[in-house]
Every structure is written in C-alpha cells, then in structure tokens.
C-alpha cells in the first residue's frame, strides 16, 4: 500500500503539494542505475540487488566464477554510490535530503524542517 505525503510549497499558486515519495525514489533508483551501468553490469545488478538472488545463482546464471562476480559487485556498488551522491539537481543520497529532510523558505534565516518518522522499538528484555 503506497503512502501519499503532503509537502509545503512556498512558490506558485498552491500552498501544499502531494506526492508518493517511495514510488518516486524507486523509479529514480532503477532509472539512474540503468543509465549508469552497461548491459553486463546491469544484469548483475538486476539479479543480485533487485531480484535478491544469492551469489551461487548469479554465478550460474551469468556463467562466471565467484571471485569475478564479487569484484564486479564491488565495482557496481562503488560506481552507483558515486552516481547517486553526485546526481544533479537532486541527489539520491543522503536519503533524508531526498525525502524532504530540510527545505529553505523565503528568507535567508528562515528554515522549515520536516521530521522523518522513526520506527518505535520496544525495549528488549535481558
């Protein structure tokens, strides 16, 4: 079930806008990953990270050995991490900035911050 979030908009005609941030993030994550990787790297990314296959299944499916598979996984993580951080105009990382952690309002000192809800964890008995 998706969740709609209302956000304040200080420009234009409307006071608030609504969006589905989780779906937007998933779409941005997949599209940016597809553009940044070549076909072979994306096949590894898709099967290992998106579909959740373990390394044995990925190695069998892609016909590669374990060492080369993990070297490719580390290269993919490094490349996508850099791309997600340096993406313009809105980076995908850090997540709090993507999901509206802080926004500037009309004045140089005015600042409005939206709190991201944190899960409540019950205390663990010893």
The answer to whether residue 123 sits within a structural domain is no
What's the pLDDT at 116?
47
How far does Cα 17 stand from its chain's mean position?
21
Angle, alpha carbons 118-7-2 (nearest 5°): 60
The answer to whether residue 118 sits within a structural domain is no
Strands 102-104 and 16-19: unpaired
Three-class DSSP category at 95: helix
The answer to whether residue 121 sits within a structural domain is no
Q: Is the peptide bond before 105 cis (omega within 30 degrees of 0)?
A: no
pLDDT tens digit sequence for 10-32 = 666 667 767 788 888 889 999 99
The answer to whether residue 126 sits within a structural domain is no
More confidently predicted of 95 and 112: 95
Structurally, how many domains does the chain consist of?
1
What's the pLDDT at 1?
58
More confidently predicted of 101 and 17: 17
The range of the structural domain enclosing residue 18 comes to: 5-113
């Amino acid at each position: 079930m998706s969740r709609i979030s209302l956000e304040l908009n200080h420009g234009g005609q409307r006071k608030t806008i609504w969006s589905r941030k989780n779906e937007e993030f998933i779409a941005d994550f997949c599209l940016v990953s597809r553009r940044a990787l070549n076909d072979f790297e994306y096949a590894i990314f898709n099967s290992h990270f998106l579909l959740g296959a373990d390394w044995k299944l990925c190695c069998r499916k892609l016909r590669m050995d374990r060492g080369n598979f993990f070297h490719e996984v580390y290269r993919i993580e490094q490349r996508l991490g850099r791309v997600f951080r340096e993406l313009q105009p809105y980076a995908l990382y850090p997540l709090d900035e993507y999901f509206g952690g802080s926004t500037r309002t009309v004045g140089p000192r005015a600042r409005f911050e939206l709190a991201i809800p944190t899960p409540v964890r019950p205390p663990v008995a010893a």
